[in-house]
Amino acid sequence: MTPCGYEDFLAVLKVGVAAPYYLTQQFLPYFNSGGCVVNLSSTRAVQSQENTESYTAAKGGVAALTHAMAVSLAGRVRVNAIAPGWIDTGAYYREGYVPGDSPADRRQHPSGRIGVPEDIAALSQRLSRRHFSIGADGIICICAPVTAGADAMMRIFNADGSEGKMCGNGIRCVAEWLYTHGTAKPKLAIDTLSGLKTVARMGEGLWQVEMGTYTAMAAALPAVNMGEGPLVDLPLQVEENLWRVTCISVGNPHCVTIVPDVDSLKLEEIGPAFEHHANFPERINTEFVQVVDATHLKMRVWERGSGETWACGTGTCATVAALTELGLCPAGEDVHVQLRGGELIIRVLPDKKLLMTGSAVTVCEGIAEV
């Protein structure tokens, strides 16, 4: 054991465990709903080396602290920890530094090399990005199918706990998971609460979804005080402003409105008023769309139960359907829709059927404690 004195041992714990706790405590009043804490643990927390007692205790403490903080701050701030292996920091404090690791050292790491501080920085950035990382707008459960011959059933739960009927982006993620976990079929049949959907693999991580048909009739949304439909290019009073809207159901309800500039919108102020409008008794998803040209759109979406999300497959389909109804987008052609989270391609087929093409990328895999 290391001949570490009592005060020295406590000093390591103060820096390694107490400091992250108190820093988070001090910053807590300033976190918004997208806040994220990334602590730094180490593989030493679970894989000890001789004469590292104080360091190992501190890093084990960070791992336990991260679990506790994640539970305490659930729903407000995401808390994660990075536990790296060997990190060579020599270049940061010695000019002309030459790494001294051996081939045997490198063989201990699956990557075949010793890590550098940039590796931790890059992972920390990825963990901190709510819309692209393990932060999420909801949870998808992959269940046993209910339709004979189907491969699975998808159930999706929004951030507020409500259950959604369908999620165009979610179903591509389900398809990618099924494909990479033993169901490597070029076409997959997936049950949803809005019916059976067929998903076809178009390339590496690229999926095309047969989204079914759309309708603009009030009963399908449902919508009240707006007539029976089609609900195309109608006025809607939302608080103090009058909007022109087109309402579309693609298995779940959407309200689409055209704006001159989507980037300037204060969606956190506008979105809730649409979502809870009295005309939509089951609430509504709202798409704000800027027309670039007939086959290129920019869009932002406020989803019922989740707030603004950076991508929405059903919302993108509803948007192209609405603009097709308005005569602004051509039926039978690919329409490219740019969202904050990437691009989706939508095509309106005969009989108001919809095709959606987009990617699905695995960010990470792990075990969640609930």
Question: What does the CA dihedral 77, 82, 83, 88 come to, rounded to 10 degrees?
Answer: -150
Known active-site residue 167:
yes
- The alpha carbon of 156 is separated from its chain's Cα centroid by a whole number of angstroms, namely 13
> Nearest-CA neighbor of 17 among 81, 61, 54?
61
The Cα–Cα gap between 188 and 317 comes to: 20
**φ, ψ at 315 (rounded to 5°):** -65, -40
Q: What is the bridge-based pairing of β-strands 35-40 and 77-82?
A: parallel
The single residue of 173, 247, 255, 312 carrying the catalytic annotation is: 312
- Token pair 């919809």 is at which residue? 354
Give the DSSP per-residue string, 258-285.
E-S-GGG--HHHHHHHHHT-TT-TT--E
> Nearest-CA neighbor of 250 among 286, 212, 304?
212
Known active-site residue 255:
no
- Token pair 């005569």 is at which residue? 327
Listed in sequence order, the residues at least 6 apart from 251 whose beta carbon sits closer than 8 Å to its beta carbon are 165, 166, 192, 193, 194, 195, 211, 212, 314
The single residue of 167, 247, 255, 329 carrying the catalytic annotation is: 167
Q: Are 345 and 356 in contact (CB under 8 A)?
A: yes
The Cα–Cα gap between 125 and 117 comes to: 13
Residues involved in catalysis: 167, 312
